[in-house]
Structure 1
Amino acid sequence: MPALCWNQRRRDFYAITTDVSTEGIRFRSSSRLSPGEDLTCSIRHIGLLEARIDRAVGEEFTVSVRGGRSALTDLARQFVALSRAQDLRPEVVRVHHRIVPKQKIVQVTLDGGLGVSGHVLNISASGVALLVEQSLEIGATIQVGRKLARVMRHFTHGVGAAFLEPFEPSAVHEAMTL
């Protein structure tokens, strides 16, 4: 989180919080600071805090917050709440190349043996994206053509399914049929 810090002897300077722990708050700044300096810091979305510099090495410095461990605990809670509010989900890394096959219509067989028609949006060695009119539960095992797969995600009118036994990457091409 960005912070604006100052004291009576030093002009305002910017810093970025890099860690919050029982030791204090660690910042990074282009300003060169000295241990023992008192600071007032305004941290975006957190507020004002009074602190003392405990360590300063290169561009990093660590402060202890006035008010003791309870003040630091409250700050840590605020930082955790802010990080949760961001809802950062890691991006899915696609391992296998996806293609759109020429044969897009496929028979999808559900757990109970019911067969429905599916439309292949794309396919890779590890999975398939299908448009299906039937509601499928995440985790359900389905058969896509001759290949068993597990439903992993939903999207509008369709599902993403991972093959229980992936194809060899060389077997995935436009002319393939499931």
Structure 2
Amino acid sequence: MQSQANIITDPHERRRHRRVKLSVLGRYMLANRREFPCQTIDVSASGLALTAPVRGEIGERVVAYFDALGRIEGVIVRHLEQGFAMTAILTQAKQEKLVNQLTWLVNRKALGLPEDRRHERIVPKELNTTIRLPDAGATPAKIVDISVSGAAVSCAKSAPLGTLIHIGRRRARIVRLFDYGMAVEFALPLSFDQFDENVIL
């Protein structure tokens, strides 16, 4: 992407990433841990503007989560009439991933591609967990990947679709079976402010 847009407070600073107009629903959490719904106005790999009911303070840390974009952490840099603009503090790898996601989302509509509503999936640093089936004790398992709404795990035991189980300390329901493992949907989604590679089930 050509250099153009970061959301910044200094009008003389050159913008680094091109902003794209994009309307995506999500949630954000301010420093006091209060959570609110939001919607993107435009997004770049280094910042985004949101329509939001509570604007927070300039310089305040904010964590936002969007199913289509994942977790984005930053600070509020400018108030807008209906919300605020925030930076996006990302590693180089996450920044490149966000650019790819933005390209997909923008081109999807232009090309008439079907909407992808699946949550972002990541591979956590800690892969080891346990599965507890209704009629069995704890069974060691490894996380294949995880989203805020569920996970795929490999393990030696399984149960029929729809079975309620525990994965780590979380209740979940088996929604898909595959060779040497299963996909589960959590009874309660993960807190988006803790959804990153350090998440532990």
Report the TM range for the smaller structure's normalisation.
0.3 to 0.5
Higher strand share: 1
TM-score by length of 1: 0.46
TM-score by length of 2: 0.41
Structure 1 or 2, whichever has the larger Rg, is: 1
